[in-house]
Amino acid sequence: MELRKINKEDAKAQWEYTTALPEDENGLTNPYNGVSYEEYIDQVLQTLISYEHPVNMPDWFVPETYYYLWDEGHLVGEFRIRHHLTEALRNGAGHIGYSIKRDERGKGYGTAGLKLTLLEAKKIVPEDEIYLRVNKDNIASQKVMLKNGGKIVGEDEGHFFVRIQKNT
Ligand SMILES: CC(C)(COP(=O)(O)OP(=O)(O)OC[C@H]1O[C@@H](n2cnc3c(N)ncnc32)[C@H](O)[C@@H]1OP(=O)(O)O)[C@@H](O)C(=O)NCCC(=O)NCCS
């Protein structure tokens, strides 16, 4: 199993994943649901790659790197790292967002993928803790976080706020 940064060589598999990912599933948003392969190649892929080193983006935009989880030649999930916190991210979605392909869920990929993503996040993120947020009714994702050392430190009406120490 490996985590590969978004790239042009894997375009077909990345597009298949992105175009099938719902617009909003448990708070993980995706504006590219249903996008054609041509549009993905011409616009979306370059946009997503550029997020790591954003150009001409508004002040609030935090650099974000997309990774895909691969197992035996199959792309099984997507993991996104936002490089640092802002007030909005601190009280919102935090550093990391992820999803696993529908027909690959419940096989341990979420847990294993977050573990690999945390290794990357620990190199990038300047804060002492990795911030995560999860919907209260998203039991699978809560388990993924807690099995990776996550501690619930707060909540609002619909979410738990979870933190993972960088030195664990
Ligand atoms: C959340 C998500 C990433 C979990 O990925 P996954 O590969 O299914 O996770 P795992 O296989 O590692 O399972 C983690 C735990 O959740 C449990 N689980 C999996 N699906 C579940 C479900 N539908 N209901 C309850 N528990 C579930 C697993 O049994 C496992 O628990 P265990 O270790 O006690 O057996 C995946 O369901 C997903 O992509 N959901 C949609 C997007 C999303 O919610 N992203 C997270 C936003 S915070």
pLDDT tens digits for range 32-80: 999 999 999 999 999 999 999 999 899 999 999 999 999 999 999 999 9
User: CB atoms < 10 A from the CB of 145, how many?
Assistant: 25
Q: Which amino acid is at 60?
A: W
Question: Whole-prediction pTM value?
Answer: 0.96
CB of 76 shorter than 6 A to ligand 1: no
Structure confidence at residue 107 (pLDDT): 98
| Closest-lying ligand 1 atom to the alpha carbon of residue 134 | 48
3-class SS of residue 142: helix
Find the 138 Cα to ligand 1 centroid distance in Å: 8
CB of 26 shorter than 6 A to ligand 1: yes
- Which domains can be identified in the chain, with CATH numbers? 2-126 (3.40.630.30)
pLDDT in tens, 111-163: 999 999 999 999 999 999 999 999 999 999 999 999 999 999 999 999 999 99
CB of 85 shorter than 6 A to ligand 1: no
Find the 109 Cα to ligand 1 centroid distance in Å: 8
Q: Report whether pLDDT(168) > 80.
A: no
Tokens read off for 154: 């707060």
Q: What Å distances lie between residue 111 and 19, 69, 114, CA to CA?
A: 23, 11, 5
The label of the residue with tokens 């370059």 reads 46
For residue 109, give every residue at least 6 positions away whose Cβ sits within 8 Å of its Cβ, in sequence order, or none: 1, 69, 71, 76, 77, 100
Find the 68 Cα to ligand 1 centroid distance in Å: 17
Find the 20 Cα to ligand 1 centroid distance in Å: 18
Structure confidence at residue 167 (pLDDT): 81
